[in-house]
Structure 1
Amino acid sequence: MAGKSGMTMYKLVVLGDGGVGKTALTIQLCLNHFVETYDPTIEDSYRKQVVIDQQSCMLEVLDTAGQEEYTALRDQWIRDGEGFLLVYSISSRSSFARIKRFHQQIQRVKDSIPNAINSASPLGSPVLSSSSSNPTPIPIMLVGNKSDRVTEREVSTQEGMKLAQELDCQFVEASAKNCVNVEKAFYDVVRMLRNQRKNSIRPKLSSFNRNTDNTHNHKTVDKDRYQKPRKCVIL
């Protein structure tokens, strides 16, 4: 998606159980500081201009609620998202156990939009889905947060790697507190999205060249339908 400035935008959604550090990771990335206190989030949106692999882009990061009562809202967050971070705490076995449920929800929501076109690129790229009709994997990063809590670890690195392989996603352990692998977690999702956009644009260009009568219909979405409590833009 191209923002108002013409800069490419990537919509990333951070999912995971409550208290695993989703907000801490997001604020460390966008505001460069660590949040010590836990304040349960419903929905916070942040934007930050970054340079990834010598290319400038805008990240829109949606920090979401992990509580079960927000499952319906989570469906909409997933529909709007392009790439996802699934976060658990290495010091919480229960948060690790819930990762599959969040992953299943992503699959269910994305697979329920057959043949849909999102605004990921000027030419329009297909909704990212790993269903049989669209084998393109959804860009997902599994993040084992709070890696600084070495003595409190309940989930091993090997377990995280094994789950990532099972879910067909990438994996990293991070520490929002010590700012370890925070950028990597988000930036690698952007890299996945970039690769998929490149691959989706090539066949569309070939098809356009073969048929000059093709037209491009652009549909806009009423963004005011879904109110967002807070938004922070960092340039």
Structure 2
Amino acid sequence: MSPKTTTPSLHKVIMVGSGGVGKSALTLQFMYDEFVEDYEPTKADSYRKKVVLDGEEVQIDILDTAGQEDYAAIRDNYFRSGEGFLCVFSITETDSFQATQEFREQILRVKGDQTVPFLLVGNKSDLEDRRKVSKEDAENRAAEWGVPYVETSAKTRTNVDKVFFDLMREIRVRKDVDGGDKDAPNKTKKRKKLKCTIL
């Protein structure tokens, strides 16, 4: 089996965070190398791109969610479909930093998994003079959660590729660890359930 014939593996990334922190700006900068300053509030957009991750061609699927998602059920569905999460706040807004706690809790609840691939991202690092969230506070929170913390700027493109690639690496490691057997217990569970209904 030559690697050329296999389809590139797909990594599903979900962007979460309050409205206005720059999730769309980061996504568009990564996808198209452009900075969009005045962006209409997102409904929820999905993007797909082929990239080379450590010499291997992979596809990244990015779901850019709206910060002001009103329907918890919709948000739960998004979270369920994701393999890794970029949880974005703005270093110029304390509220957006506080909100990351709630996003993290929701994701863990929906995924039922404490070790889901997750990066805490402090965006707008180009606005250092307007910083309200200290690097130390953000690093402490990330350490508490056991996740990486990276500061980005969609405007200057600082660390934009880094956060997406780092997250894809985490997703890949997770898939390698789980291997094919992640589905196996679920399948047997489903079978058992079916047997019960048949009986």
Same fold (TM over 0.5): yes
Structure 1 position 42, deviation (Å): 1.4
* 8 Å Cα contact 1:19-1:38 kept in structure 2: no
What is aligned with 1:9?
10
Structure 2's unaligned 5+ residue stretches are: 1-5, 189-199
- Measure the CA separation in 2 of the matches of 1:158 and 1:63: 27
Length-normalised TM-score, structure 2: 0.86
Structure 1 position 167, deviation (Å): 1.6
The aligned amino acid for 2:147 is: C
What is aligned with 1:191?
169
Does structure 1 residue 156 correspond to structure 2 residue 134?
A: yes
* Residue aligned with 1:15, SS: strand
Structure 1's unaligned 5+ residue stretches are: 112-128, 131-136, 209-215, 218-235
The aligned amino acid for 2:11 is: Y
Structure 1 position 31, deviation (Å): 1.1
What is aligned with 1:83?
84
Structure 1 position 73, deviation (Å): 1.4
Structure 1 position 71, deviation (Å): 2.8
Length-normalised TM-score, structure 1: 0.73
Indicate the percent of aligned positions where both proteins have the same amino acid. 44
- Measure the CA separation in 1 of the matches of 2:64 and 2:52: 21
Greater per-residue helix proportion = 2
Which 4+ residue blocks in structure 1 deviate beyond 4 angstroms?
none
The aligned amino acid for 1:85 is: L
* Residue aligned with 2:102, SS: helix
- Measure the CA separation in 2 of the matches of 1:81 and 1:110: 9
The aligned amino acid for 1:200 is: D
Structure 1 position 72, deviation (Å): 2.5
What is aligned with 1:26?
27
5 Å-filtered alignment, 1:176-215, equals 176-201=154-179, 204=181
Worse overlay, 89-98 or 69-78: 69-78
5 Å-filtered alignment, 1:44-59, equals 44-59=45-60
